[in-house]
Structure 1
Amino acid sequence: MEKRALLLTYGLIFFVMVSWGLNVVMLKLLVEAFPPQTMTAFRILTAGIVTILIVLFGSSFQSLSKREWRYTLLGMVFGVVLHHTFLAQGLTMIDASNAVLILALLPLTTALFAVFFLGEALTKWRLLGICFALIGVFFIQGGIGSFQMEKGEVYLFIAMIVQAISFIFIKKTTATLDSKQVTAMMLLFGSIGLLLVSLVVEPTGVGSMMGASPFIYIVFFFSAIVATAVGHFVFNAAIQKIGAGQTAIFNNFVPFFGLVFSAIFLKETIYLYQLVGFLFIVAGVLFGTGYAEKHWVRKVPIQGKSM
């Protein structure tokens, strides 16, 4: 890849990480302004419509086999309906700063599921990463290492875990199907599932979506179109161009920007134990996903051996 094209790819994926860190803060604002389940349904519906239009104008749809339909629907249930339901509900109960740190465990959790369900190796370095990540979790619970968790934290952990499960199904689907089409279908069909759930748990939710300030609607559309729709397309394109390993490492910027934006826009206090927890989680992700072992450990020359 040419240097200029590579720099452009890095710049775009970095912008996505900034928007995803900001998106957690935006969601915190949105769940306080609207009924969380109904807002989530319309936000994902908006993202789904945008992604479908992009796919339609960019390339033709491919017909799906029964296997592809099965994995796409499973990915939709876990990655869209369950993930966004628990994410929205959890954000009504805890600060955005804690939420982004919990969501930072996503790459590590995905790597662990890949070990159990996709047959990837679990090395000593990955085990070290798991230990680092667990230490980080104890810190973000208040700096005292307590196993007791608030309800909102439980919801965020569930949101993170079900999204990691969805990645396993997505990986199986995209082995034979274009990732952009999978993303668009999951968002559009998933929004229908979210809307059905919202009609049950929030019967008057649709009417409550009216009457907010113009600023809140700007936040809503920025979250839906830029962070969710465009962000996922850029992320998938980066995986295709520079590989999953290099792209995934950028995810470590998300909790950092989430902490910064929660302090700036929500006036949340960032504590030292949260920063320490963040560092442990980043170390856990680097080792637990196998990135450090692949790019650092195996490149260290062995003493006494000629190069």
Structure 2
Amino acid sequence: MKQWKIYGILVFVMFIWGFNLPAVKYLVSEVRPVTMTAFRIFLASLTVFSILAVFRIVRKPTKQEWKFIVLGALLNVVCHHYFLSIGLTMTTSSNAGLILGTGPVLTAVLVSLIMRIYPSRLQWVGVILGLFGVSATVLAAGDGTSGLSFGDVFVFLSILTQVFSYMVISKAAKTLDPRLLTAYMFLIGSLVLFLISLFQEPGEIQAFFNVPPMFWVAFFGSGMIGTAVGHMLYNYSVGKAGPSKAAIFMNLNTLFTLVGSSVFLNEDITSRHIFGLVLIVAGVILGSGAAEDIWRKYKLKKSLSE
């Protein structure tokens, strides 16, 4: 598949994820987070398996591939969705979206460190800008730094574990279709989350019988589109473009989340959010190495024209 088509898929995924976050925020207000997430991820696994079955992509993984599947499930599904769902019960959807915006910077830096290709000075400036943008958003709530909540910390942990999972997905994609990897990860991850919910939220399954009709619209939309289709396409793109390039597009997730939070949850978008967003996007451009790449191409084009 051509590179521009991969980029188009990534933009579409960011749009889905941006509007999915407010939906998850609403869902965890009706049913406790771990129980709701376990069933939502299980629905996503059934959806992905059904789609792949139509295209005859489903197969039994090898022993080596199972190692990647289990590790990916623990990082990308259990840890990421556990921390995110818990965090959304204690912070706003807008704040969560902005914190998730640090994903591109974290991905670019971690990939560079793991591959022992250390970031340049300009990239480190991007890292600092991105983290400062998040701090400016979640700390400067009204009266100084009292705005930091455990919810913000949990959301940050969710994106950190997700970033590590992209390294696993990138390696697994060499032999296993990332879309099939997604289906297996969702299945295993949902079962682990369900076991956790039995201990952490006993009897919460009964809450599903008392939710309003709108809950089921959000639940099926989030599980089948936001989670199943979104993660399937993103993991596919990571396998094709690599974690660093794919992560660059995650800053669009922040933008769409702010819009979705304002439209569906009536959350206020303040100058604090805009300021944080600008810093995060600047951090992404610098931290991912995109700015240096553009500058090199500009200098090359200029030298050829002379």
TM-score (norm 1): 0.89
SS at match of 2:210: coil
Shift of 1:63: 4.0
Kindly provide the amino acid, as one letter, of the partner of residue 75 in structure 1.
Answer: G
Aligned sequence identity (%): 36
Q: Which residue of 1 aligns with 2:190?
A: 191
Q: Which residue of 2 aligns with 1:225?
A: 224
Unaligned segments of structure 1, at least 5 residues: none
Asked if 1 retains the 8 angstrom alpha-carbon contact of 2:123 and 2:286, the reply is: yes
Shift of 1:72: 1.8
Q: Which residue of 1 aligns with 2:30?
A: 33
SS at match of 2:249: helix
Q: Which residue of 2 aligns with 1:300?
A: 298
Shift of 1:172: 1.6
Kindly provide the amino acid, as one letter, of the partner of residue 252 in structure 1.
Answer: N
Asked if 1 retains the 8 angstrom alpha-carbon contact of 2:170 and 2:242, the reply is: no
Deviation per CA, 1:10-65, whole angstroms, max 9, x where unpaired? 65543332221111100110000111110000000000011112222213434433
Q: Which residue of 1 aligns with 2:278?
A: 279
Q: Which residue of 1 aligns with 2:77?
A: 80
Q: Which residue of 2 aligns with 1:153?
A: 152
- Aligned residue-pair number: 303
Shift of 1:301: 1.8
Q: Which residue of 2 aligns with 1:126?
A: 123
In the TM superposition, 1:168-247 aligns within 5 A as 168-238=167-237, 247=246
In the TM superposition, 1:12-161 aligns within 5 A as 12-143=9-140, 146=145, 149-161=148-160
Shift of 1:106: 1.0
CA distance in 2, matches of 1:62, 1:120: 36
Deviation per CA, 1:178-234, whole angstroms, max 9, x where unpaired? 111111110111100010001110111111121211111000000000111112233
C-alpha RMSD of the superposition: 2.6
CA distance in 1, matches of 2:155, 2:245: 26
Cα distance 1:11–1:248, how it changes in 2: closer, same or farther (>3 A)? Answer: same
CA distance in 2, matches of 1:119, 1:213: 52
In the TM superposition, 1:250-289 aligns within 5 A as 250-289=249-288
Kindly provide the amino acid, as one letter, of the partner of residue 207 in structure 2.
Answer: S
Asked if 2 retains the 8 angstrom alpha-carbon contact of 1:139 and 1:273, the reply is: yes
CA distance in 1, matches of 2:121, 2:259: 33
Kindly provide the amino acid, as one letter, of the partner of residue 18 in structure 1.
Answer: F
Cα distance 1:157–1:293, how it changes in 2: closer, same or farther (>3 A)? Answer: same
Cα distance 1:302–1:170, how it changes in 2: closer, same or farther (>3 A)? Answer: closer
Shift of 1:246: 5.9
Unaligned segments of structure 2, at least 5 residues: none
Kindly provide the amino acid, as one letter, of the partner of residue 299 in structure 2.
Answer: P
Asked if 2 retains the 8 angstrom alpha-carbon contact of 1:138 and 1:146, the reply is: no
Asked if 2 retains the 8 angstrom alpha-carbon contact of 1:126 and 1:289, the reply is: yes
Cα distance 1:304–1:168, how it changes in 2: closer, same or farther (>3 A)? Answer: closer
SS at match of 2:58: coil
Shift of 1:66: 3.3
Deviates more, 1:253-262 or 1:285-294: 285-294
Q: Which residue of 2 aligns with 1:165?
A: 164
Deviates more, 1:38-47 or 1:236-245: 236-245
